[in-house]
Structure 1
Amino acid sequence: MSIVGIKIKILTFSGYYLPGYKGGGPVRTIENMIAHLSDSELEFWVVSRDRDLGDSEPYASVKRGSWQQSGNSYVYYLPSEKTSFLEVRKIIETTPHDIVYLNSFFDFRFTIFPLLHRYLSRSHSAPFVLAPRGEFSPAALEIKKPKKKLYMAISRVLCLSKNLTFQASSEFEARDIENALRIDKSNIKIAPDLPSIRSPSPASLNLQPPHQTEESSLRVIFLSRISPMKNLDFAISILAETTCSLQFDIYGPKEDLPYWAHCEQLLSSLPDHIQYNYCGTVMPDDVREIFSAYDLFLFPTHGENYGHVIAESISAGTPVLLSDRTPWRSLEQDNLGWVLPLGTPQSFARVIDAFSKTTPQEKQEKRRHILDFSEHKLCAPESIIQNRELFVSLLPQNK
């Protein structure tokens, strides 16, 4: 524990942060962690870019180049022209802190620069924690593989991972980290991603499913960043195998434009019983309400270290049809949805066709069950304890 009245200061580096949202899960993870853990003991100081993912202009609502209070934390928005190694080093050296918290393994400016500072500053004694955010899953490592392999080799030669504590969100991610970096298990601590506390608890929501008749089309949603990792093209190919009448709506930022062009080609070839729309990006506060208007969330992702969007679908009462590349392995057992291997696309199509044949009353009963169950599924006090221990246990007086 910290000395009474003295907070543990956690200097946090993240490529993207609030008020941005296009960076996806990592932004929500850090926001939620700060909301749950900022108290009389822990205090977060966040360094991030001054603009959202893909934006050419900085946020209009923030002060750039200096510390400012934001809710129950402090944020330093780095201007794009000041993201050099020397600038990052200056922030580390001039900002009092007890722990440095990194939120990527491969981010050049917001992870590699701080690690190089630690390498060059032999006297730097603050412990470092690194959360890879799913970057070591086999599918994630295949993206830009040559560059990643080169950096991992350089990192091993320079011992950049020496004495680092790695945060894994699950046993699955812990194994991925251990296998990719060949590090000892003792350097990996499991602290699950935490749910949002900005919205009412799932059980307190009064979300009504869309009005349906027996003849209504099944309403299917895909909501995520549009990139190969999220596997939208596979989702489209699944729908092409279905026989039921359905409406397919896609939400999310077009992170990879060539990949989106490929998906558009696939969409244009869908059979006539499928109607589709691209509905643009979604503000975080609107996600749950949007999910509530759909019968099914189709998300055959190549990998998620947590999957905030999955939690939000469940908290809206919308069942999820998911790949087996996430920690959400018990969806079917808990009657929250279905989990299938990506090697069996026909199985996904069969689930969709079967679900389309359920009555409006059966769909409403399933939604009601998910809403009732999700409060217990998403809100685990032991996860908060694990996240707190991730930091508190690193201080000398607690070792």
Structure 2
Amino acid sequence: MKLKPKILILTDWFVPGYKAGGPIQSLNNMVESLQHEIDFHVLTGDRDLLESVPYSGVEFDQWMKVDSHSRMYTTAKSRQALILEALKNDTYQGVYLNSFFSIDFSIKPLLALRRMNRLNKVILAPRGMLGAGALKIKGLKKGLFIWLFNRLNIGSSIRIHSTDKSESSDILKAIGKVAIREISNLPAQIKPHRKTAKSPIPKFLFASRVSPKKNLKLAMEHLNASGEMLELNVFGQEDDVEYARMCRSYLMPNATLEFHGAVPPKSLKSAYLNHDFFILPTMNENFGHAIIEALAYGLPVIISDQCPWGDVESFGAGWVIPLKDTERWKECIREAAILRDVDYVKMSERAQQYVHDKINFDDIRSHYLNLFRETS
């Protein structure tokens, strides 16, 4: 019997964590989908993003079997030694790094593997961190590591996992010519739910981290400028305390506004089912799990043109708007708010059809299997 390829995954956060958003979802969906063909060993931190308390109900600093893969939740005091021990283990055919700028789970491992002359085993997933919008945040520190990355010629020995052509372009602009494997993220598979009408007062959903990159404040300004009576519910980790405070203090006289904080993915299901539209004027989106999930649940989306789903408007499943086109944001929100029920139901059906047409799960799985078998 042929042994499954054994792959070590290093990542800051993994389930049961959820506050880091997309990177956790992307990785968990990949592991769950491929764990019967690939022997994954996920080495991660012992707590969720910005949490001071470790996870409950798990063992720390030792491998534990979960379903058909292995996990290790590492404490800060033991982490570096355990990562180094894992990197020295030559039974791993590949090392998958789920970040570009993580000090513990990407930068230090890359430098260690370079010293071991094992960079050829590395698959590095930037997870949108090399997009122009993302690089503007803490740009000096990020620029320093990119300089070091290129100075040490790390890119010549590893493979980079990109999720679409736009991210591939961002990667080439940021770090130069590297070997890129372009494979879409695997979204969660969602059973279609038919919507029959729009709410009398339209309900808008923002389900993403509350940070400058995700642009909640801009969404609030545009919703306010539309002049329409509406409801906005915000679900997401408040990464930037000052930014979140500014958003919370923003007055929206024409809207009911409520902040719900970060919730587990399963708890978001009812939010998708109980809203009419999804809004996200993000500065940069690598994949946008929340966008795809919203569409899968039948929510037409109102998103910036900095997302990979730029054809959603031509498909009739939402609106795609340049970030700086203030007038168009206002017009599209107004258009959404006054949609007749019959037109809303059609658009909701188009949203679900868009996901069905765009996501080929079997094809994506096949590409991932090839990626990991390359290292064997």
Structure 2 length-normalised TM: 0.95
One of 331, 346, 352 as aligned partner of 2:327: 346
1:320 to 2:301 alignment? yes
Structure 1 position 209, deviation (Å): 5.5
1:55-70 correspondence to structure 2 within 5 Å: 55-70=51-66
1:68-217 correspondence to structure 2 within 5 Å: 68-84=64-80, 86-94=81-89, 96-122=91-117, 124=118, 127-184=121-178, 187-197=179-189, 200-202=190-192, 206-208=193-195, 212=199, 216-217=200-201
Letter in 2 for 1:391: F
Matching residue of 1:333: 314
Closer/same/farther in 2, CA of residues 297 and 73 from structure 1, 3 Å limit: same
CA–CA distance in 1 between the matches of 2:82 and 2:65? 20
1:375-394 correspondence to structure 2 within 5 Å: 375-394=356-375
Structure 1 unmatched runs, 5+: none
1:345-364 correspondence to structure 2 within 5 Å: 345-364=326-345
Which is worse superposed, 56-65 or 377-386? 377-386
Closer/same/farther in 2, CA of residues 384 and 371 from structure 1, 3 Å limit: same
1:48 to 2:29 alignment? no
CA–CA distance in 1 between the matches of 2:243 and 2:79? 29
Closer/same/farther in 2, CA of residues 96 and 372 from structure 1, 3 Å limit: same
One of 273, 280, 298 as aligned partner of 1:292: 273
- Secondary structure of the 2:234 match is strand
CA–CA distance in 2 between the matches of 1:343 and 1:369? 27
Matching residue of 2:34: 37
- Aligned-residue Cα RMSD (Å) equals 1.8
Structure 1 position 349, deviation (Å): 1.1
CA–CA distance in 2 between the matches of 1:248 and 1:139? 25
CA–CA distance in 2 between the matches of 1:95 and 1:71? 24
CA–CA distance in 2 between the matches of 1:226 and 1:10? 33
CA–CA distance in 2 between the matches of 1:163 and 1:134? 21
Structure 1 length-normalised TM: 0.90
Matching residue of 2:206: 222
Matching residue of 1:11: 8
Matching residue of 1:235: 219
Structure 1 position 158, deviation (Å): 2.2
Closer/same/farther in 2, CA of residues 209 and 106 from structure 1, 3 Å limit: farther
CA–CA distance in 2 between the matches of 1:151 and 1:211? 48
Structure 1 position 45, deviation (Å): 0.6
Cα deviation per residue 1:147-206 (whole Å; 9 max; x = unaligned)? 11111112222223330100110011111111110124xx11101101114xx433xxx4
CA–CA distance in 1 between the matches of 2:26 and 2:268? 15
Matching residue of 1:246: 230
Matching residue of 2:245: 261
Contact 1:195/1:379 (<8 A) preserved? no
CA–CA distance in 2 between the matches of 1:211 and 1:317? 11
Contact 2:315/2:350 (<8 A) preserved? no
CA–CA distance in 1 between the matches of 2:317 and 2:195? 17
Structure 1 position 87, deviation (Å): 3.3
CA–CA distance in 2 between the matches of 1:292 and 1:348? 24
CA–CA distance in 2 between the matches of 1:211 and 1:174? 38
Cα deviation per residue 1:124-148 (whole Å; 9 max; x = unaligned)? 3761100000011000000001111
Cα deviation per residue 1:85-139 (whole Å; 9 max; x = unaligned)? x3321122247310000011110000012111112213x3761100000011000
Contact 1:331/1:338 (<8 A) preserved? yes
CA–CA distance in 2 between the matches of 1:66 and 1:106? 25
CA–CA distance in 1 between the matches of 2:154 and 2:51? 31
Cα deviation per residue 1:42-65 (whole Å; 9 max; x = unaligned)? 111101001100111111111100
Contact 2:65/2:71 (<8 A) preserved? yes
Contact 1:289/1:316 (<8 A) preserved? no
Letter in 2 for 1:183: K
- Secondary structure of the 1:161 match is helix
Letter in 1 for 2:171: I
CA–CA distance in 2 between the matches of 1:220 and 1:287? 14
Structure 2 unmatched runs, 5+: none
Contact 2:119/2:157 (<8 A) preserved? no
